[in-house]
């Protein structure tokens, strides 16, 4: 049984472990250095009501997390958010990402967002399929905007406009 719930400070180490695995082994994030406990706490403390963090827990253990972030600090973008979804390596392919993204979309609508944007590195087929399943559509590609693991990386842009 997977529980989807708002993240708490007690979840930060689980969130950090999942994120740092992605930092070390994937292009899902363009961070290249693992996040420290202090950096993770600072990130969490900067979240506001309209930009929540949620977790997926199995028997109390964080197995995935997701968040809405500010798309831009310019006021005209205040009703657009960017999503992030991360699942622990051993839990991937079990529908947890779909549950997390589904809840994020619900929260975005409840919080008054009009649009959600996803930036997906390297045209990740899994991430693109996940976002398509939630109603996102591809709106563009940024070519060679990131460099990680000694190669240039494209970023696909996807968007969901909420009713």
Q: Tens digits of per-residue pLDDT, 147-156?
A: 999 999 999 9
Q: How confident is the model at residue 158 (pLDDT cuts 50, 70, 90)?
A: very high
Average pLDDT, the chain: 97
Average pLDDT value for residue range 106-131? 96
Closest by Cα among 12, 62, 67 to 38: 12
pLDDT tens sequence across 87-110? 999 999 999 999 999 999 999 999
Give the side-chain half-sphere CA count within 13 A for 124: 16
CATH topology of domain 2-114: Aminopeptidase (3.40.630)
Q: H-helix or E-strand containing 128?
A: helix 125-133
């Amino acid at each position: 049984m997977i529980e989807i719930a708002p993240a708490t400070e007690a979840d930060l180490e689980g969130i950090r472990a999942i994120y740092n695995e992605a930092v070390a082994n994937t292009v899902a994030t363009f961070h290249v250095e693992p996040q420290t406990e202090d950096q993770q706490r600072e990130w969490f403390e900067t979240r506001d009501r309209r930009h929540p963090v949620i977790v997926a827990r199995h028997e109390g253990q964080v197995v995935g997390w997701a968040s809405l972030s500010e798309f831009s600090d310019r006021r005209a973008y205040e009703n657009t958010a960017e999503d992030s979804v991360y699942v622990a390596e051993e839990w991937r392919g079990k529908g947890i990402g779909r549950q997390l993204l589904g809840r994020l979309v619900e929260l975005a609508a409840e919080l008054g967002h009009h649009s959600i944007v996803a930036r997906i590195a390297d045209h990740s087929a899994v991430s693109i399929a996940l976002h398509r399943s939630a109603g996102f559509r591809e709106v563009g590609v940024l070519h060679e905007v990131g460099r990680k693991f000694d190669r240039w990386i494209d970023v696909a842009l996807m968007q969901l406009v909420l009713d």
